[in-house]
Homo-oligomer: A and B are copies of this chain.
């Protein structure tokens, strides 16, 4: 399961995608529209900035905005950065790989099964970008 934090992050990014080209958006506006606790959202947006997905502007007329066009930001990458591994086991993770002490990967049926699951998941998430997250009216 994605953490609440990750869910909020995705919601916020989808809102910023809709407002792309309208300039900076207030934290408070995002919080209100997406029903996210304000101070928690502050924290999340800050992380997204440090990660390099967003940038911000202070003072009047300030707010947060996407650095890159929404079509260039993959959902899979956001999830990895905010939530962690997408795979179900460390030994089948592409970006958070860790060798398994309990088995030999060449002969581990669980390993093979989880590779399948990982590929099926990535096949969806790596093809989707923020644009695919914008809600239908």
| B137 with A113: CB separation less than 8 A | no
A50 interfacial contact with B, CB 8 Å = no
Q: How many copies does the complex hold?
A: 2
A110 in the interface, Cβ–Cβ < 8 Å? yes
Q: Is the CB of B135 within 8 A of A125?
A: no
B133 touches A88 (CB 8 A): no
Contacting B at CB under 8 A, from A105-133, are 107-110, 113, 116-117, 120-121, 123-125, 128, 132-133
Name the CB-closest residue of B to A104: B135
CB pair A124–B113 under 8 Å, yes or no, is yes
Q: A11-B103, A120-B120, A120-B121 are in contact. List 12 more A-B contacts (CB 8 A).
A: A1-B87, A7-B89, A11-B110, A14-B110, A35-B102, A75-B113, A107-B136, A108-B135, A109-B135, A110-B133, A113-B133, A117-B121
